[in-house]
């Protein structure tokens, strides 16, 4: 790229931002704006109007509603008056929006006990509005070292007029009309040089929409291909083993379990292959759902396999399933890496025989030597702990078995559909009755002694405790209490009369499993551990969890950890201990105050972004430059509808009207784009 005003040094900076061509420069979109010249006064807003205002927060709070929805409300004031602004379902905004903050809000005015502004968009301008609230709208760009957003703005501003005429529309006219978004040329001008904030948002909406549309097209295509090429087994609901299981269970299925099972059975009894993701909060009862699906496969003469991320978890499943299936005269078998060669050969022989069987295991199940004669159902538990390849390998066993993926990482439905667009989604949004609330508290460093004494008393009563640390070994740079050093302190100090053990990820797998087994069997009172205990371990006698350095954990991760206690009849506790900043305290309060995994995940997403929630394992998750599938829920919905319509009439995108769009998608998503046959 050669542009005036861009020498080698700036070009290098731009390259770091991913800007190599003039086109990249045009698509380097401001991530926020300052000012708003077209702001209405609060007094002038009338019911039914769309408007943008700037006001200072004079009061705020979270209101519960009868339906359980929580609403964040703030009252904004400018020189002319006050108005209430309400964000339904976003109680976590209470952590970021403060009294005295100046907000720029645009939305619709409704009547609800008075005027109420329902925001479509808002920008928090912080404490001080001097100089930003008046004058023209300024674009603020993602910047890099040595290349400030002002320089970037200068470069873009200088070239915008000559570059824009080179851009031609690539979305079909009907699509623009259906989505209600502006053309690409207008959009780019609007985001870079907006006359008002509303205009900037309008331009952004177009860019976000096209991004969501492209991802939807790619994913729906992937889904269609999967269905086309892989027909599945058509099971028949014989109501034999499944009915027997239902009758022998010591509990009634929850309404949510019943609904999810109907969804799963409908898939399994169609000739389409099931590819379903089951989401359910910790303790929502996913295992028994998998078990019913397995019984449906078996009563049809097929085999079923359930893969878990650790040996311990596989053993635990084997144990609970053996118990539940005993009345049916079925004994599930275990397949893990630590079996002796002979046992392993025996089990391999059994599953190579086409008789119905239920196998529970680890990734040993997908190793090459394991050949299923008649695999009808493959279940992957805690699927987020596996890599994409392992999940695929499980589905590749046998001949097109139905696949059920299960996860306790709860994410909002709209986001799930975007991230896992090629899967169908079922959600367990109800917990079995009688589950107790885990008393959760954040305690300061000064309470350490009392907290440890509390743990001791629990142990005296015959209970067990977890103590969790974020890292393994103390590093010189940080003063984090590492599990190993602190284990020494605890086991020779306050817990010197207790049976203690240390568990962390660097131990060999066998040793880890052995320690967990001892804890499960009650031979260890205090388990000092890193997050390796996060996954589905069930020790009902463990009633208290102490988490050190809670600021180092994501909220969803804390929620998963907390799910390790409260599994028995006794009252249970989760204590976060440490000295935290007021900011962090607010974040942690979301976790302390809520036991709803979905609400917690939503807050996590807002506060820390998607990367933290999914980690590096979830590669293959599309990343968005402009769109935010969580905030742009409505645009995302529209994108899905439009993508549906396009693919119904033109599944290969080879109609001339789609040629330009096809070209742009090809350039942008070259790898995924192979789904649309090339040439
Ligand atoms: P998760 O969804 O976290 O994997 P589990 O499947 O381990 O949850 O279930 C947690 C506990 O709840 C288990 O002890 C299970 O037996 C029990 N459970 C599951 N469904 C019900 C139900 N409908 N009623 C009562 N208890 C149930
Ligand atoms: Mg589970």
The protein residues having their C-beta less than 5 angstroms from ligand 2 (an ion) are 536
pLDDT at 533: 77
- Cα(313) to ligand 2 centroid in Å equals 8
Q: What is the spatial distance between Cα 253 and Cα 263, in angstroms, rounded to a whole number?
A: 15
What's the gap in Å between 161 CA and the centre of ligand 2? Answer: 57
Q: How far apart are CA 12 and CA 20, in angstroms?
A: 9
Determine how many CB atoms are found less than 10 A away from the CB of residue 126: 12
Given the structure tokens 């930003």, which residue do they identify? 132
Distance separating alpha carbons of residues 267 and 596, to the nearest angstrom? 28
Q: 75 near 63, Cβ under 8 Å?
A: no
- Ligand 1 atom nearest residue 538's Cα: 7
Beta strands in 65-173 (DSSP E): 70-77, 82-88, 102-111, 115-124, 138-140
Domain 38-138 shares a fold with domain 241-428: no
CATH architecture of 439-594: 3-Layer(aba) Sandwich (3.40)
DSSP 200: H
Q: At 11, is the secondary structure helix, strand, or coil?
A: helix
Choosing from 316, 432, 533, 567 the residue with most ligand 1 atoms within 8 A of its CB, the one to mutate for a pocket test is 432
Q: How far is the CA of 286 from the centre of ligand 1 (A)?
A: 7
Domain 241-428 has CATH 3.40.50.300: yes
Crossing angle of helices 286-299 and 241-248, in 10° steps, is 150
Alpha helices in 371-474 (DSSP H): 388-395, 413-419, 448-460
* Sheet containing 402-407: order of strands: 333-335, 358-361, 303-307, 375-380, 402-407, 275-280, 424-428
Proximal ligand: closest to the CA of 539: 1
Tokens representing 576 are 């976060």
Structure tokens at 250: 């010591």
For the CA of 280, the closest atom of ligand 1 is 2
Q: Alpha-carbon distance 57 to 54, whole Å? A: 10
How far apart are the C-alpha atoms of 576 and 470, rounded to whole Å?
Answer: 12
Closest by CA position to 101, among listed 93, 109, 92, 91: 93
pLDDT digits (tens, 9 = 90+) for 129-149: 444 444 457 787 877 777 777
Contact 347, 252 (CB under 8 A): no
Measuring from atom 19 of ligand 1, which residue has the nearest CA? Answer: 285
Taking the mean position of all CA atoms in its chain, how far away is CA 575?
Answer: 24
Residue nearest to atom 4 of ligand 1 (CA): 286
Cβ proximity of 241 and 299 under 8 Å: yes
Pocket test for ligand 1, best of 285, 384, 541 (most atoms within 8 A of CB): 285
Q: Where are the domains of the chain?
A: 38-138, 241-428, 439-594
631: CA distance to ligand 2 center in Å?
30
Interatomic CA distance for residues 256 and 432, integer angstroms: 9
Per-residue pLDDT, 398: 80
pTM, two decimal places: 0.67
Task: State the pLDDT at residue 477.
Answer: 58
38-138 carries CATH number 3.40.50.300: no
Strand stretches in 183-273, DSSP E: none
DSSP 293-339: HHHHHHHTT-EEEEE-SSHHHHHHHHHHHHHHHGGGT---EEE-TTS
Mutate to test the pocket of ligand 1, among 287, 537, 560 (most ligand atoms within 8 A of CB): 287
Distance 433 CA to ligand 1 centre (A): 10
What pLDDT is stored for residue 64 in this prediction? Answer: 82
Q: Which residues of the chain have pLDDT under 70?
A: 1-2, 34-38, 125-136, 226-230, 368, 410-422, 472-481, 534-536, 606-623, 630, 670-679
Instruction: Name the residue with the closest Cα to ligand 1, atom 27.
Output: 432
The half-sphere exposure of 636 on its side-chain side, counting CA atoms within 13 A, is: 19
Atom 24 of ligand 1 has which residue's CA nearest to it?
432
Q: Which ligand has the minimum distance to the alpha carbon of residue 383? A: 2
**Confidence at residue 588, expressed as pLDDT on a 0 to 100 scale:** 93
Cβ proximity of 526 and 499 under 8 Å: yes
Q: What's the gap in Å between 25 CA and the centre of ligand 1?
A: 53
Ligand 1 binding residues, C-beta < 6 A: 251-254, 257, 280, 282-288, 408, 432, 536
**Which residue is it, tokens 């009633």?**
543
């Amino acid at each position: 790229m050669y542009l005036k005003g861009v020498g080698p040094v700036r070009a290098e900076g731009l390259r770091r931002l991913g800007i190599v061509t003039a086109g990249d420069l045009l698509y380097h979109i401001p991530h926020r704006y300052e000012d708003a010249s077209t702001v209405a006064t609060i007094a002038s807003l009338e019911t039914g109007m769309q408007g943008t205002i700037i006001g200072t927060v004079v009061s705020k709070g979270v209101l519960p509603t009868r339906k359980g929805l929580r609403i964040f409300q703030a009252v904004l004031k400018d020189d002319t008056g006050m108005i209430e602004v309400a964000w339904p379902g976003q109680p976590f905004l209470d952590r970021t929006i403060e009294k005295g903050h100046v907000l720029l809000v645009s939305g619709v005015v409704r009547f609800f006990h008075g005027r109420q502004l329902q925001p479509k968009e808002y920008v928090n301008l912080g404490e001080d509005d001097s100089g930003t609230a008046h004058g023209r709208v300024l674009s603020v760009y993602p910047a890099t070292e040595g290349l400030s957003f002002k320089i970037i703005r200068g470069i873009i501003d200088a070239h915008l007029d000559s570059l824009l005429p080179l851009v031609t529309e690539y979305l079909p006219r009907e699509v623009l009309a259906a989505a209600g978004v502006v053309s690409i040329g207008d959009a780019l001008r609007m985001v870079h040089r907006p006359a008002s904030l509303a205009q900037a948002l309008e331009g952004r909406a177009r860019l976000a929409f096209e991004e969501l549309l492209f991802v939807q097209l790619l994913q729906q295509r992937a889904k269609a291909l999967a269905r086309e090429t892989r027909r599945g087994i058509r099971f028949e609901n014989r109501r034999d083993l499944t009915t027997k299981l239902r009758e022998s269970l010591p509990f009634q299925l929850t309404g949510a379990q019943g609904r999810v099972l109907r969804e799963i059975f409908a898939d399994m009894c169609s000739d389409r292959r099931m590819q379903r993701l089951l989401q359910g909060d910790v303790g929502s009862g996913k295992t028994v759902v998998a078990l019913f699906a397995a019984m449906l496969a078996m009563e049809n003469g097929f085999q079923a396999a359930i893969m878990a991320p650790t040996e311990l978890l596989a053993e635990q499943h084997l144990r609970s399933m053996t118990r539940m299936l005993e009345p049916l005269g079925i004994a599930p078998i275990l397949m893990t890496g630590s079996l002796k060669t002979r046992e392993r050969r025996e089990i391999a022989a059994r599953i190579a025989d086409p008789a119905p069987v239920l196998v529970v295991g680890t990734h040993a199940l997908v190793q090459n030597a394991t050949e299923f004669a008649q695999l009808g159902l493959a279940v992957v538990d805690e699927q987020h702990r596996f890599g994409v390849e392992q999940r695929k390998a499980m589905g590749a066993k046998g001949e097109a078995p139905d696949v059920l993926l299960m996860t306790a990482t709860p994410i909002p439905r709209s986001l799930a559909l975007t991230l896992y667009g090629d899967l169908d989604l079922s959600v367990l949004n109800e917990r079995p009755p009688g589950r107790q609330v885990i008393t959760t508290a954040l305690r300061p460093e000064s309470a350490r002694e009392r907290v440890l004494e509390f743990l001791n008393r629990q142990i005296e009563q015959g209970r067990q405790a977890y103590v969790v640390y974020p890292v393994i070994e103390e590093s010189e740079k940080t003063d984090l209490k590492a599990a190993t050093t602190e284990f020494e302190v605890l086991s020779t100090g306050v817990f010197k009369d207790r049976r203690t053990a240390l568990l962390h990820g660097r131990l060999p797998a066998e040793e880890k499993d052995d320690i967990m087994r001892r804890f499960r069997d009650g031979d260890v009172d205090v388990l000092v551990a890193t997050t390796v205990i996060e996954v589905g371990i069930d020790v009902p006698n463990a009633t208290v969890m102490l988490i050190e350095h809670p600021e180092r954990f994501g909220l969803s991760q804390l929620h998963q950890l907390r799910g390790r206690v409260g599994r028995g009849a006794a009252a249970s506790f989760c204590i976060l201990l440490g000295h935290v900043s007021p900011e962090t305290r607010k974040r942690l309060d979301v976790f302390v105050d809520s036991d709803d995994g979905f609400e917690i995940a939503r807050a996590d997403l807002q506060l820390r972004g998607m990367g933290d929630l999914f980690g590096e394992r979830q590669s293959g998750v599309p990343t968005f430059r402009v769109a935010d599938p969580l905030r742009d829920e409505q645009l995302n919905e529209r994108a899905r509808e439009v993508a549906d319509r396009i693919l119904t009439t033109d599944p290969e995108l080879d109609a001339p009207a789609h040629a330009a769009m096809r070209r742009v998608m090809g350039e942008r998503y070259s790898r995924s784009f192979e789904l649309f046959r090339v040439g």
